Structure 1
Amino acid sequence: MFAILGEIEFTVAGGISAMEQTRSADWAEHARIQGKPLLEWIGEGLDECNLTLELHPILGNPQERLQALSQAKSQHQPLAFVMGSGEYLGVYVITHISNVIRRATAVGQIKAATVQLSLKEYTGAFTRKVARPGLLDSTVNGTSAAAAGKPGLISRLTPPPSVVQAVIGHAKTAANILRAGQKVYLAAKSGNASIILGQVPQLLGVTARAIAPLQGLASAADLLEDGADLSRLGEDVLGSVVGARSALKPVDLGNIVDRFQASHASLEQALEKMHDARTRLAGLAAQVLTRHA
């Protein structure tokens, strides 16, 4: 399997031929007298992803596959996007579908077409729906239809997220917040003491947002039979985040540079610890993807 979007599976053998990812950041431009404008980082932009799919009868019914994608778009639901390697890319919505019909029957039925599917990152509240005991209905397991992964065979059973999914979700949220915090630190680093001091409320705010998901990571991992290492990860990263916050309280123009450097170092330690655990977390995501968790 190449990837899965919600309950729709994409495979190389099933026609997916390309995936383009776009990441952006929002910057405000401030005019300055007798100088070039100054850029100020505002926040991260929404990630986007474009998939190219080839439809052909030997890859599955083109009309059914196109209809399934159109139906998913019309439902306006955020969908979890996971790569076949187990990497959890996040939550996306389908914003655009276009198709070029390359071959058709005399009555207009699609024989071959190229479909462009546009996805945009969703940052609102989201609870992933997972089928139980398997994504496909048990009545079709082992059949050629099940092997093709047709969307029409998807089970509608939707239990609450598992403990493994909670661990992955908390880790993903914490990592995203820490990366956003890193950008704030890097932007402030280029300024003088007065500018850095003015950024302290923002630095404290971004680190504060990481506390809850890290606590959730430690608590959820503690419920896993083999989650002791991930529970320690949550606690260790939380310790570094708390250290980053403590270094900034209290601060003034006389000590802000040294305090800022200490705080930045603690945040970098937190990010490094999360980065070192990426393989372990990807393994958990793979369990979810293959319906083992």
Structure 2
Amino acid sequence: MFAILGDIEFTVAGGISGMEHTGTADWAEHPRIQGKPLLEWIGEGLDECNLTIELHPVLGDPEARLRALRQAKSKHEPLAFVMGSGEYLGPYVITQVGNMIRRATAVGQTVAGTVQVSLREYTGLFTRKVLRPGLVDSALNGTSAAVIGSPGLISRFLPTPSTTQLVIGHAKSASNILRAGQNLYESLKNGNASTILGQVPQLLGVTARTLQPLQGLANAAGLLDDGADLTRLGEVVLDSVMGARSSLSPVDIGNIVERFGASYAALNQAASVMDSAGPRLAGLAADVLVRRA
């Protein structure tokens, strides 16, 4: 299996022929008198992924596979995106499904074509559904798609990420977002009250993005036999992040500098505690590599 999006599986044997993954950063441009504009980093942009899938009867029923993708898009729901290696990329939404027909029947049914699927990262609240290996869409039983592998099939060999992998993934996500938050705070610490006040929505946004992975870390670590320390770590970091957020609400031009300092200190504390778990998480990663977890 190459990757799975929700319960839509993509395999090389099933026709996937390419994937383009892009990440962006948002920068504001400030004009300056008699000089080039100054760029100011605002925050991370949403990751995007474009998949290229070949349709052909030998790869599965083209119409059924295209229909599965279109139905998933029409539901307007975020879906867990997991690589075949077990790496969890996070929730994504389908923003576009394009089909270039190269061969069709006399009544317009696709026989051969190329599908372009555009995915965009979703950063809202999301609860990942755990898929059960061996579950096959009953609508595809007995079809060539069920035998070969199609978007409607959950592989019986699906390598569902282990609890240890989930802990590592949540911790990595939280660390990356906290680091991005520190960069944003650092860029503002020497600014005036008006500038800092104008960036409060961005500060609240970057801290909000840490809540889900930290909650996921605490919950997943609780399922490990020896994960009590990581559960506690996740809770401590989450408390610090909540402190960073509460320091910025409510704020006004008179108190923003003081409250910004308190928020920055709380965020740095969260990042420091998170960094202290580096050796512990590295040990878990090693266990995964040697198939002990």
Q: 1:137 and 1:212 mapped to 2: Cα distance?
A: 30
Gap change, CA 1:108 and 1:81, over 3 Å in 2: same
The 3 A distance-change label for structure 1 pair 268 and 112 is farther
| SS of equivalent residue, structure 1 residue 123 | coil
Structure 2 counterparts to residues 1-293 of structure 1, below 5 A: 1-132=1-132, 134-136=134-136, 146-152=146-152, 167=167, 170-171=170-171, 173-184=173-184, 187=187, 210=210, 213-214=213-214, 217-218=217-218, 220-225=220-225, 227=227, 230-231=230-231, 234=234, 238=237, 267=271, 270=274, 277=281, 280=284
Report how many residues are paired.
267
Displacement after TM superposition at 1:229 (Å):
7.4
CA displacement, residues 139-166 of structure 1 (integer Å, 9 cap, x when unaligned): 99999754433344569xxxxxx96797
Partner of 2:251: none
Q: Which residue is 2:159 aligned to?
A: none
Is 1:27–1:39's contact at 8 Å kept on the other side of the alignment? yes
- Give the drift of 1:131: 3.6
Deviations 1:43-84 (A, max 9, x none): 211111100111111111111111111111111111111111
* Equivalent residue letter for 1:120: R
Over the matched positions of the two proteins, sequence identity in percent amounts to 65
- Taking the aligned partners of 1:141 and 1:67, their CA distance within structure 2 comes to 16
SS in 1 for 2:65: helix
Partner Cα distance (1:88, 1:282) in 2: 17
Distance in 2 between residues matched to 1:283 and 1:98, nearest whole Å: 41
Query: CA–CA distance in 2 between the matches of 1:275 and 1:141?
Result: 47
* Mapped partners of 2:168, 2:78: distance in 1: 17
CA distance in 1: counterparts of 2:152 and 2:222, whole angstroms: 37
Q: Check whether the contact 2:163–2:220 (CA below 8 A) recurs between aligned residues.
A: yes
Displacement after TM superposition at 1:277 (Å): 3.6
CA distance in 1, matches of 2:203, 2:105: 62
Contact 1:26–1:45 at 8 Å: present in 2 too?
Answer: yes
SS at match of 1:89: strand
Secondary structure class of the residue paired with 1:36: strand
Q: Report if the CA contact (8 A) 1:92-1:121 is conserved.
A: yes
Aligned partner of 1:290 in structure 2 is none
For the 8 Å contact 1:20–1:50, the answer to whether it is kept is: yes
Report the CA distance shift for 1:13/1:272 in structure 2 as closer, same or farther (over 3 A): farther
Aligned residues of 1:175 and 1:274 also touching (Cα < 8 A): no
Q: CA separation of 1:114/1:139 partners in 2, compared to 1, >3 Å: closer, same or farther?
A: closer
1:102 is aligned with what amino acid?
R
**Partners in 2 of 1:84 and 1:59 — Cα distance?**
18
Q: Distance in 1 between matches of 2:96 and 2:208?
A: 36
TM-score by length of 2: 0.67
User: Quick one: distance in 2 between partners of 1:85 and 1:209?
Assistant: 25
Letter in 2 for 1:99: N
Q: 1:41 to 1:127 in 2, by over 3 A?
A: same
